[in-house]
Amino acid sequence: MDLINNYGLFAGNRVYYNHRVNLYSLSGFFVEVHYNLEGNQIENIETVTKDNVLKLYLDRINLNVN
């Protein structure tokens, strides 16, 4: 987690059941951190592919400039 905190760029988040999933960009790839809301702890950290990122997060991106 230190590597993500020091060098990762937060890109977004989503809720999946009782987890908050934070997405980070890190050295040319994406990492998801699964945080259990009920247990108040990180349960999983995994790399994800660009295709998975697009499917899960694209609908949350707003490019409208006012």
Tell me what pLDDT residue 34 has.
95
Structural domain count of the chain? 1
- Dihedral sign for Cα 54, 57, 63, 64, please: positive
Q: What is the mean pLDDT of each run of 10 residues along the chain (66 residues)?
A: 89 89 89 93 91 74 58
Tell me what pLDDT residue 60 has.
65
Tell me what pLDDT residue 66 has.
57
Q: What are residue 15's DSSP bridge partners?
A: 20
Q: Which of 8, 50, 58, 54 shows the shortest CA–CA distance to 33?
A: 8
Copy the structure tokens of residue 49: 């592919």
Q: Which domain holds residue 18?
A: 2-60
Tell me what pLDDT residue 64 has.
58
> Does residue 65 belong to any structural domain of this protein?
no
Tell me what pLDDT residue 3 has.
87
- Dihedral sign for Cα 33, 20, 44, 48, please: negative
C-alpha 26/C-alpha 3 separation (Å) is: 9
